[in-house]
Amino acid sequence: MTASTLAQWMLQSNSTVILTGAGMSTESGIPDFRSRTGWWKNIDPRTVASVESLQQNYELFREFYQMRIKSLADCTPHRGHEILADWETRGLLKLVATQNVDRFHQQAGNKAVAELHGNIVTIRCQACGKPLPLGHFMDNAVCTYCKGKLRPNVVLFGETLPQEAWNRSLKEIQSADLVIVIGTSLEVYPVNQLPAMSKGKLVYINLDVAGNSQNFDLILQGTAGEVLAEVDKYL
């Protein structure tokens, strides 16, 4: 079974949902988390991306996210993102549920996007919850209203997922005919529970497919950009 099989399934499906992870954005130049060159190979996530790091090691926490936010400025969505946006416009997709925090799906043109892990391009105060401009966070400022610590609207280890994004993803995945999982190791709970909640066909597009233990109907090994372009040829 190949890319043409997936295209055929997409054309037959009344409701297709995409679930993406960091591997969707590596072709844009953004590292993933668990590959050889991923963030968590060099840095322990507990020291920079957890509730404890925000509370007890704020300067390092802030430095880590400032670095990630700055690096986004040099990167743009790639052909694979554009194909997903085009599929939504053509009525081939119901929702992109993403663990990515870069907003590249929206930049490429997708409108139906659920940000399961939040994003790093909007900021709020950890103490009072009010939204503040990104520039304040980048300038090491404190909250204008209460002098609290500023932070990106990203989900940290130790926090629950945004309820609306989770409920929407769950509902669409449960009723989908087809779920296409792209560029995620599926190691992180609770998002890794989502594919199994679908009664529809399950497809996995990933560079490394050896470690996956879920029950996929079709596995397409390769980069997201290449595989999506191949599938698109048949649509």
Active-site residue set: 117
In sequence order, what DSSP letters do the residues of 15-42 get, joined into one string? -EEEEE-GGGTGGGT---SSSTTSHHHH
Name the residue nearer to ligand OAD (CB basis): 93 or 194. 194
Selected from 183, 194, 198, 220, the binder of ligand OAD by CB under 6 A is: 183
Q: What is the smallest separation between the CB atom of 142 and ligand OAD, expressed in angstroms?
A: 24
Name the residue nearer to ligand OAD (CB basis): 127 or 207. 207
Tell which residue, 13, 30, 8, has the closest CA to residue 78.
Answer: 30
**What angle, 0 to 180 degrees and rounded to 10, lies between the N-to-C axes of helices 79-89 and 224-232?**
40
The stretch among 11-19, 25-33, 58-66, 164-172 that binds ligand OAD (CB under 6 A) is: 25-33
Name the residue nearer to ligand OAD (CB basis): 43 or 141. 43
Report H helices in the chain: 3-12, 39-42, 45-48, 51-56, 58-72, 79-89, 104-108, 134-138, 163-174, 224-232
Q: How far is CA 54 from the centre of its chain?
A: 21
Q: Does 152 bind ligand OAD (CB under 6 A)?
A: no
Q: Does 33 bind ligand OAD (CB under 6 A)?
A: yes
Can you say whether the dihedral through the CA atoms of 143, 147, 149, 153 is positive or negative? negative
Total chain residues near ligand OAD (CB under 6 A): 26
Q: Does 185 bind ligand OAD (CB under 6 A)?
A: yes
Q: Does 50 bind ligand OAD (CB under 6 A)?
A: no
Q: Does 21 bind ligand OAD (CB under 6 A)?
A: yes
Calpha distance 56→91 (Å, rounded): 47
Burial 158-181 (b: 16+ CB within 10 A, else e): eeebbeebbebbbebbeebbbbbb
The stretch among 20-28, 62-70, 128-136, 171-179 that binds ligand OAD (CB under 6 A) is: 20-28
Q: Does 155 bind ligand OAD (CB under 6 A)?
A: yes
Q: What is the smallest separation between the CB atom of 99 and ligand OAD, expressed in angstroms?
A: 4
Tokens in use for 143? 């909250």
Write each residue from 83 to 102 as x if it is in contact with ligand OAD (CB under 6 A), else as -, in one continuous string.
----------------x---
Calpha distance 84→229 (Å, rounded): 10
Q: Tell me the HSE value of 213 on the side-chain side, using a 13 A CA sphere.
A: 3
Name the residue nearer to ligand OAD (CB basis): 60 or 141. 60
Q: Does 51 bind ligand OAD (CB under 6 A)?
A: no
Q: Does 65 bind ligand OAD (CB under 6 A)?
A: no
